Structure 1
């Protein structure tokens, strides 16, 4: 696969706090209409996130140089530096003059109950981003992935891809729950690849009114992640390909696992590997994420990654992955 990889979607930070007691002990049912509470928390973790940033980080770890497309605030400087150090091109990220970078703030108590807020902030300005000026600078895209973001931004990017003939990948993920069937149909129809998990695939069918076969008629390839059962890839007129998850995974925290799978899948596609190998690389990268707390805190050497491929999928798979992975890693240096 030749051409640039444009990854459009959310860019956010998560502020996660833990409260050692129980929220329920401070709630007075008869006074909920006057609620005003404050909790002394035990810790604060600030994690980098957002689906587009997570995917770009994963692609960078595998030696590629993805183009991050999204909207942030002026508070993005440290996050930008982190991504650029890991191979991500952030030069086309829009910086809002008035809003902060999107932020998720959540406090969790000892019973795992949560109070949370999501501030979309600068993400709402993604609808102001045009792809053509970016393409003029980075070259024709192999793919434009359109991930969860400001819904109008997702719509605009999809429409522009159709109008200009850019191959696009539909990955609406979290926005499916909040979107109507008309928008989902527009985001999916004509995609070269449709990414979703199994629940989301059923949600797409339910909200669009399309059957599974009708969805497949409208996309080139449908890639459905199945959690601990791996991934299923379907194409019209072809037998489905099912790839099992990586072996001996010590799961700690699942956030960002789907984003990592997409990174691995797209990296292997960029290396010119087939669909089955792409899914295996995706499952292997996903294993690193589920074994760490945070979506961008994992690390590995190329040789460690190849060894893990061999452990899960055999020597032939490892041999095919090793050459392009090491080549891209060396080139990146």
Structure 2
């Protein structure tokens, strides 16, 4: 998808969120307590915000930037990976906390995953990391929902959203985690995100936010607060709602899943890239589903990078 023929020249996309070191362990059998379980283990760059930024660039968006905080020991490595993916990194090095780390336990048969999360430097993002100058050339701000789950980073997210609206930029948010969202509470989340333009939850998050069991009902209810809501349905695809109605339902491509880590981030990046370049809601959802289909076919949450991988000492 590109901007040709849409009649729109998109401005910059600024993602504010998390950069994470992912340790992905694909195990081929049940986890064996108190002993060894054979697995394929890889260390790769990740993070919901960083992943979404990389997928937006992979989907054809030409000006994608990422504001995040990383441990000083690995900031250069993460900078390198972001640049290779076409993202302009705006990483704040943290001398007192390591880069966030996630251990992803992936069932090699079902591709489903379980996360163990050390938020590290992510939770240390603060309003001091923000400047309205970061919005120069930006027409859309995307926030990772992980920012809402700690006091300091929550204040950063709210300040960035307020600055974006004052500057005339639109704002989107991915709720990020049903588990963390349950801890924050649906009512508080909806209060914090009032005034944002696009919400990108998965089905579990949409259910949690509304108390409605059917994703379509939840999407329609959420679209009474958010002008545009896109709910991902896993292998079933996605649906889009606006003004209390479902306006698009799309199927996901059929693929052999290897690792579902980052599929939602891929949808977010693909959807936003297409939407911001003038695609219809259906076309944007289709672009998001195509990106997610690529994502589940690779280990980790990022798009494939042409030219091979990076090493720790680069």
Give the shorter-chain TM-score range. Answer: 0.7 to 0.9
Unaligned runs of 5+ in 1: 27-37, 301-333
| Counterpart for residue 156 of structure 2 | 156
Deviation, 1:9, is 1.5
- 243 and 107 in structure 1: CA distance in 2 versus 1, 3 angstrom threshold: closer
- Which 10-residue stretch deviates more, 157-166 or 195-204? 157-166
Mapped pair 1:8 → 2:16: yes
Q: CA RMSD in A?
A: 3.2
Relative to 1, partners in 2 of residues 1:22 and 1:110: Cα closer, same or farther, differing over 3 Å?
farther
Gaps of at least 5 residues in structure 2 are 1-7, 307-314
Contact 2:223 2:244 in 1 (8 A): no
**Structure 2 match to 1:57:** 54
Instruction: Identify which of structures 1 and 2 has the higher relative contact order when contacts are C-alpha pairs closer than 8 Å and 6+ apart.
Output: 2
The answer to whether residue 41 in structure 2 is matched with residue 44 in structure 1 is: yes
Seen in structure 2, the aligned counterparts of structure 1 residues 292 and 282 have a Cα distance that, compared at 3 Å, is: same
Q: How many positions carry a matched residue from both structures?
A: 282
Cα distance change on mapping 1:187 and 1:172 into 2, 3 Å: farther
Aligned equivalent of 2:280: 274
- The Cα offsets for residues 132-167 of structure 1, whole Å up to 9 and x where unpaired, read as 1311xx32x322111132423244323442355242
Q: TM-score, normalised by structure 1?
A: 0.74
Distance 1:212 1:185 in 2: 14
CA shift at 1:58, angstroms?
0.9
Taking the aligned partners of 2:157 and 2:114, their CA distance within structure 1 comes to 33
Could you tell me which residue of structure 1 aligns to residue 310 of structure 2? none
- Look up the SS of the partner of 2:130 in the other structure: coil
CA deviations over 1:286-322 (Å, ceiling 9, x no partner)? 111111222125368xxxxxxxxxxxxxxxxxxxxxx
For residues 211 and 285 of structure 1, do their structure 2 counterparts lie closer, same or farther at Cα, with a shift above 3 Å needed? closer
Partner residue of 1:145? Answer: 142
Question: In the alignment, does 2:195 pair up with 1:190?
Answer: yes
Please say if 1:224 is aligned against 2:227: no
Structure number with bigger Rg: 1
More strand by share: 2
Tell me, yes or no, if the aligned pair for 1:194 and 1:223 is still in contact at 8 Å.
Answer: yes
Distance 1:103 1:77 in 2: 16
**Distance of 1:271 and 1:77 partners within structure 2:** 31
